[in-house]
Structure formats: structure tokens, C-alpha cells
Chain A
Amino acid sequence: MSVRVQPELRSQLIQFGIGDWNACYHCGTCTAQCPLSEEGFLFPRKKIRLMQMGLKDELEASVEPWLCYYCGDCSTSCPRDANPGELMMSLRRYLTSIYDWTGLSKKFYTSELWELGFIIVFAILVVLSFLVLLPSMGYHFTRELTAQGGVQLNAFAPIHVVETFDWCMAAVVASLLISNILRMYYKIIWKYGNMKVSLWVHIREFWLLIFNFAVQPKFNKCDDKRYWLSHWFLMSGYTIMFIVIVVYLPWFQTQKILPIWHPQRLLGYYATFGLLFGLFVAIIGRIQRKDVKFLFSHISDWLFLAMLTLTAITGILIHIFRINGMPLATYISYITHMAVLVPMILIEVPFSKWSHLAYRPFAVYFQQLKRYAVPRESGHP
């Protein structure tokens, strides 16, 4: 069965940051030197070919873009300056928009107005809820509150209200992400090709998902190990912070200032360090533009870094002001913190760059499923 070429796919892909892909003349140097490319899952050349030819279904059924961690060696060794590394990056943006059924991801990636607009709307909603909604529920963000002396954080931001909101937000994000992952599974495993994967293989190989999420062993296969380390600090810091904020908020956000050796504070400090370290490496890299992987920055790359940095800084400020008994400064930092954090999680995690936290480990898992796939019996659609 022949596949129809779709030259019009080009105009769509261009919106995701793809430059001039016709420079590639398929020498295969990129694939040959990529430590992550392997038999049956060859990239980047083959993926570039699919893009050039406009083979949409083949592209959407590819796990390979997620198996690339963008060390940039392919772009450095490319004799035609076709920049295969950046083409793979752009392909990940495109695939993110394809998995997303709401269509918002595509809007965010292709229109700065949409992305910034959404962030600002969410930020305003957060600020409004502190200034209007909470007081209307009886939690007064007033001078009396601060007049009691010390920082009354749980009185200002009532723990059960924030916690409920956290859980709601987590539920929305999770349901969006899970539905997108199901679509990813459908495109990669279910729909594409005449293959079948048994339920037992699904269960047996599930550990790969957890393992890859926690350690990113594939990233460590890239020749340059530095980025694996900084990425791992960033990832672990973020994950710890996310878990304590969403799942253990009452344990984390306490009125009383606990001693410095308390796990609550130690975990918080570690997570902050991890975030700052990872952010520092990425931001300096993108400013210096010495490494190929940081040579091209899409607006989504900068927005992601900017929002995460703002979240971290406001988080640190809350902590400093609180310890030093500065209520108003603490509350203002808290509102700012939430005004950045909420849109970041709602937009970045399901629709934009942060979705890779799920797509990457799932891609490794799906890759393994494909390895154990058996041909479907004839007669099956």
C-alpha cells in the first residue's frame, strides 16, 4: 500500500521552528554518529526524510524524536549544515501538538499571542482570587492579619483551600496529559502498522517507564555527560517540589518555622538547589550559544525557562521573607509565585515543552513494546 506524499505538511511544520530542511542530502553522517540511534529506530536522517516527503502518518507514528536528547553532535558533523538536531527538536514540538486533542498546543506553539495571552489571563485570575475570591470567602488579606505579628501564611493562604485547588489543578493537568499519552499510544502502537503487542509485554516492560522517568539513562548515552547531570538535578528538584506541593502541602506549608535539619526544609533546599543548578546551566547555555543544542531558541524554550526561574525566585523570596518575619513581602511574593506557577503548570505541562516529562519515558516504553510486537493476523483491520 502506497503512502501519498503531502507537500503541504511543510507549511505546517515550518511553524514549529523548522528552517531549511532541504539542505539535507541524506549522507547519513548524523545517524552514523548518533549514540542513541539503533537498528529499527534510526534517526535523525530517516525522520528528516519523512518530513521532506510530507509523510504525515509515518511521522506521527515515530517514537524516535523522543529518543533524541539533543547533544547536537549530528548538527556539528553535518556536512550541509542541515541542522538535524534542531529538526528533531522541532519535530518534538510538532508531535506535542499532534498528541494534544484540544488543539491548544498547536496554538501555543505557533502563536506567541495565544501563549502569552493565556499565561497573562491565568496570572490575573490567580491574583484576583487572592484579592477578591479569598476575602469574599472570609479570608481577609488585610492589615489585621499581619498585625497579629509574624507571618500568618496559613491564615493568608488557607491550607485546605490551596490544597483543594492544587488537587483540582493536578487532576486537570493529569487528565489532559493522560489523554494525550493515550493518543500517542494510539498513533505509535495501535494504529500504525500491522502489529500486535500482548498485555503481558505491556506489564512486564512497565518498569522501563519508571526507570527512564527517574534516571534518563538514554540521555547519559550522549557523549557529553554534563547535560545529563544538570538535567537530572533540574528534573529531581522539580519532581520533589511538585510532589510536596500537591500531595503533602499541609506538611510543607506550615505556619511554624521548623528547624533547619527538618526534612521539610532539607527537601525544600535540595529541590531549590536542583532547580537553580539546572536553570543556570540552561540559561547560560542559551545566552552563550556555544553548544549546538542551545544555538536555536524557540519562544517556547525561553518562556519555559523564564517562568520556571520566576517560580523558583519567588519561592525563595517567600522563604526568606517568612523566616525574617516580613508578612506583606511574604504575601506579595506568594501571590506572584502562584501567578507564575499556575499558568506554568497549566500550559507548559500538558501543552508545551514540559509535556516531554511524560512523552520521553513513554516513548522509551513504547519503543520496547514495538520491539516485542508481533504481526497481526490477516483479516484484522
Chain B
Amino acid sequence: MEEPRIGVYLCWCGTNISKMVDVEAVTKEVSTLPYVVLSKNYKYMCSDPGQDLIIKDIKSHNLNRVVVAACSPRIHELTFRNACEKAGINPYLFEMANIREQDSWVHTDRSEATLKAIDLVIAAIRRVRYHEPLQKRTVNVDPATLIIGGGISGMSAALEIANAGKKVYLIERADHLGGQVARFDLTFPHLSSAQQMIGPMIQRVENHPMISVSLNTEVKEVDGYIGNFRARLAQKGAEQPEITFGNIIAAIGLKPFDPSVIEEYSYGKFPDVITSLEFEDNLRAGRILTKYGKEPRNVAIIHCVGSRNRKYHEYCSRVCCMVALKFVHEIRAALPEANIYEIYADMRAYGKGHEEFYAMTTHKQIIFLMYDQQKRLPVIREAHRDDDCNMLIEMNELLSGIDIEVPVDMVILMVNMEAHENVKEVVRTIGVSLCGNQFFIEKHPKLDPVATTTGGVYIVGTCQGPKDIPDSVAQAKAAAARILATIAQGSVPVEVTTAIVNESLCCGCQTCISVCPYSAVSYDEIKKASVVNEVLCKGCGTCGGCCPAGAITSKHFTDRQILSEIEGIMSMSY
């Protein structure tokens, strides 16, 4: 290894750092440390003149290691790595010390903060000495895409990708495309027909030359990594030829909550207590009739069935409030004289045009009754013999505090959106994680809501969380755009700081395999040692941390690098 020649740069960050840290003193203090060739400070290191200073010094002083003490590496590590690369040294021969978030911003004593800055910079200097150059790697991307689920989300993504001229394998477990939307009559808030929307879309998907639709089909096995997946499919149990593709979209959808577990509602016991989806079936058939074949004179719609209740699901399904209001319009049109009750817990009208839709619906002569969905659910009972209704709903009306009973002939339960029953199987085959409610977890809740922690695997629609049609479509198209970008690039960069196994030290306990969140470690039966797939590995370091034999090293986080860093931070005595 060549002699380390380290350049140290301290940033003032305007007054953000210089106000609390004596930058000059730190610069002077670290300048005499071993291997430090020079130490400088500048008002804004991240600015172009700041970066130019580093580039110029690397060239003129022949530096081969750089330390910048500034803000968080989350903000500017990449900036300075690029500067190093520009100057001709490997970007991994750089280390950043955070003297803003971890020092100047959080302390009030200037002299102590300055001492802390010295410690942090020394630690970085000690660490960077042992940094090794790492090479960037890429893998080629197969232009085909596998989409699991033929609902509106899967079809939207499929059309988007296929219209760009790329191959799509769209597989659907049921015997038809369309998913849940195919069951709906009208949609909110414009009351436009779901059938007229989904019908032509199915046609387009089925007739598209770039989309290969497989109905009654399930994914048996997927292996490979981003850009290079292989899958075995099974159609009605019969194995299909293997397909290869570069990206996967999971659009497996939802399962409606089964309300029979809620005793209070007697679903399954009273024939005229039906779920919202069963009611959609009635609406599509063009009739609103009780099981006795009569037009109901009193219809109640109970919101939040299985939602927002710790006993069932704590989360909100987001669409049911508006669907319930949509039902009001459809019932009012069919039965102008009927009494309609909206038995709700909170009216949630968060979306575009939703509040207006709610306000408009309140003028449809309906009675809103509020209940406490945590403490006391309404109870549906059989009516007394002399009542002129089929059932009675007993409830405590929250806005008046009065115990009331509501005469009803038909009750519609607005059932919650649950994760699909197939979810565990899909998780196993494509390797994504689940949240507590069994929905797929996105890579970043704000900045990357369509990708997953597994490269090349995207999640769209209600399998990621309850959402309405526009949100599902938007997410599907976002995923399609992401995939088309990687296909257009032809290759994707993969993680550099991966783990490697020293096969001679590996004892074959396979602890690493059980802890790896990315399924990147496998066991080589011949060598009797664990093997890390460098494309799947994200460099989290979990395997290295738990390896009892010390056989696993995480690149850029070697024991020597970390121990020197610790020594550095402990070296000052005051």
C-alpha cells in the first residue's frame, strides 16, 4: 500500500459551524497529525470554489486520501466523492466528519464544541487511512417485465410499459382481468361508470402485441436479481415454460374484510345485512331489493367495518366514506322515498373533489348518525313483531349522546381493505417485506413509494396500502416510468459496499442466511460455505455483525476501518 497522503478540509457552513466551532483552531490542531499533508478551511466547502480547492490540492500535492469536516454525509458525501473522482482518485478514498448536525447545531459551549470537532476530525483521519479503492459495478437489464395481478393497477402499468414497446408478462390468478374495479357500478366523486372505464382497458390489454396475458396463473418460483430474473409459472396447476425478465411489479390487490367476525352486525345471520361489494353486485344488476324481493324503505350504511378499530384493523381504508356517499346517490336515484342513514365514525373526504362530493351528498335528504368505532359499535337486531321494518340498529349517537334505535330493511357494511390472502406466498417468491398490516413495504415512505428494498421489484396499488383508483393508477404509472428508465439505460448500478465471505473461515452455520433481509446470502453445498450474491447485497452489514467465525467482511466497513475510527475518537484526553 502506498503511503497515505491525507488532505483535511473544514467547512464553516457560513456561520452554521463557525459560530460554535473555532474552525481555525481545529484546522491547526489536526495539521500535525500523521499522514496529514495539509489542512485547510473554507466558508462553503460544497460550493464550486470549495470543490475546486480539493481538486487542485489533490493534483498539486499528490493527495491520495481526503477528509471533509462539514455537514451530514447524507447531504454532501456524494458531492465530495465526485470531486475526488474528478481529481483522479477513487471516490471511496474519502471520509466525511459531521461537525454540524452532530456538533455545532447541538451544542452551546464553543470551546467544548471545538474539542468535539477535533475528535470527530481525528476519527475521520484515522479511518480514511485504511480506506481501500472500490470499483463501481453495473448489471444489464432484461427489457421484459413481469406484472403480478391484472387489476386496474397491474393493467395500467402493463399498458404504460407495453406502449413504450417493451415486453410485459401480465399474470392473473382469476379467470378474468379487471380485479376489484370490475365489481363496481359507479365511481366517486364523478359518478362515472366503472364498467365503461375498465371494459375498454381490458380490451386494450388483451389485444396489445407487447402484453402476454396469462389468466388462471400463479407464480411458482422467482430467482435472479435486478435486471436478470427468471420465473416458473403454473397455469391451473400445470407448469409453464420458464420466462426471463428484468423487473417485477407486484399488483396483487386486496381482500375485502369478512364482517362475520363482528358479532354486533350479524352478517351471515340476517340476509339483508350485506357488504359494500355485495351491494355493488346488486347495483350492477340494476336492482336494490331485500332478500324478500321488496324495495327497502329504510337503508342504513355502516362505515368503518373492520377499520379504525383496534380489535380488527387500526388503519383507515381511505375509500369507504366516499363509496358510501356514492351509494347514497345510487339509492336516492332508485328509491326517491327511502330513508337513508349514514352511520359513520368520521367523514373523511381528503381527496380532489371529495369534500365537494360530501357537501353535495348532504343535500340528498339523508340522516347522518355518528358512532364511536372504538368503544361501542352499533348492534343490528331483529325488529319486533309489530314494527314495519325488518331490523333495528341500536346505537349511541355520538353527536347527541342519545341511545337511539334505527328502523332498517337493508344494511350495507362498508368493509375494510385487507391485505390479499396470497400475500405471504408472494413475499416468499419475490422477496419483499411486509408491514404489520400485511401490506408490502415501500423503499421510502415519502421519496420512493413505488420501489422496494429489493432492486427491480416494485409495488403498486392496494397491495402497498388501501387506496382509490386514481392513486393506484398513479403509482402504477410511476413504477412503469421507473422500469422504463432502467430499460432505457440498459444497465443499473449495483451496491459497491457489499459483504464478502472468507470461505476458509466460514464454519457453515448459516446464521448469515437467516438474518439477511435481502435474501442475498446462499449456502454453497460443495464448498460448505456461505456465498454472498453481490447484486442482491445492499451492504447493510447484518451478516458481518452476527458471523460467529468473523468470516464475513463488509466492504468499506472493515474491522480495521471501524476500530481506527474508534481509536481516533478516543485519542484526545481532556
Contacts and interface: CB of A to CB of B under 8 A. Distances in A.
Interface in A1-31: 1-5, 7, 10, 20, 22-23, 25-26
Interface stretch (A53-61, A68-76, A249-257): A53-61
Nearest to A21: B362
Interface string B368-381: 11100000000000
B106 interface: no
Interface size class for chain B?
A: 20 to 34
B404 A4 contact: yes
Interface string A267-311: 000000000000000000000000000000000000000000000
Contacts of B367: 5, 7, 52-54
A353 interface: no
B32 interface: no
Nearest to A58: B402
B367 to A, nearest CB: 6
B180 interface: no
Given A2-B403, A3-B402, A55-B404, A10 B362 contact: no
A1 B403 CA distance: 7
Interface residues of A, number: 20
Nearest to B400: A49
Contact of A2 (B347, B370, B404): B404
Contact of B405 (A2, A26, A49, A50): A2
Contact of B366 (A5, A22, A46): A22
Contacts of A20: 363
B400 A50 contact: yes
Contact of A4 (B365, B397, B407): B407
B399 A5 contact: no
B339 interface: yes
B115 interface: no
Q: Which of A10, A49, A58 has the most CB of B within 10 A?
A: A49
Contacts of A49: 397, 399-400
Interface in B317-368: 339, 341, 347, 362-363, 365-368
A107 to B, nearest CB: 25
Nearest to A80: B359
Contacts of A2: 394, 403-405
Contacts of A7: 298, 339, 367
B402 A22 contact: no
A4 B367 CA distance: 13
A52 B368 contact: yes
Contacts of A25: 347, 362, 368
Interface of B, secondary structure class, is strand
B405 A5 contact: yes
A22 B362 contact: yes
B492 interface: no
A58 B402 CA distance: 10
Nearest to B361: A22
Contacts of B474: none
A7 B362 CA distance: 15
B481 interface: no
A21 to B, nearest CB: 10
Contact of A10 (B341, B365, B369): B365
B339 A53 contact: no
A53 B405 contact: no
A7 B399 CA distance: 17
A53 B363 contact: no
Contacts of A23: 362-363
B87 interface: no
B397 A53 contact: yes
Contacts of A50: 400
Interface in B388-439: 394, 397, 399-400, 402-407
Interface string B522-561: 0000000000000000000000000000000000000000
Nearest to A55: B402
Contacts of B400: 46, 49-50, 53, 55
Contact of B404 (A10, A46, A53): A53
Contacts of B298: 7
Contacts of A52: 367-368
Given A2-B405, A20-B363, 8 more contacts: A2-B403, A3-B404, A5-B407, A22-B365, A25-B368, A26-B399, A52-B368, A53-B367
8 contacts: A2-B394, A3-B405, A20-B363, A22-B366, A49-B397, A49-B400, A52-B368, A53-B404
Interface of B: 298, 339, 341, 347, 362-363, 365-370, 394, 397, 399-400, 402-407
Q: Which 10 A-B pairs have the closest CB atoms?
A: A2-B405, A7-B339, A49-B400, A22-B362, A2-B403, A26-B399, A49-B399, A3-B404, A5-B406, A4-B405
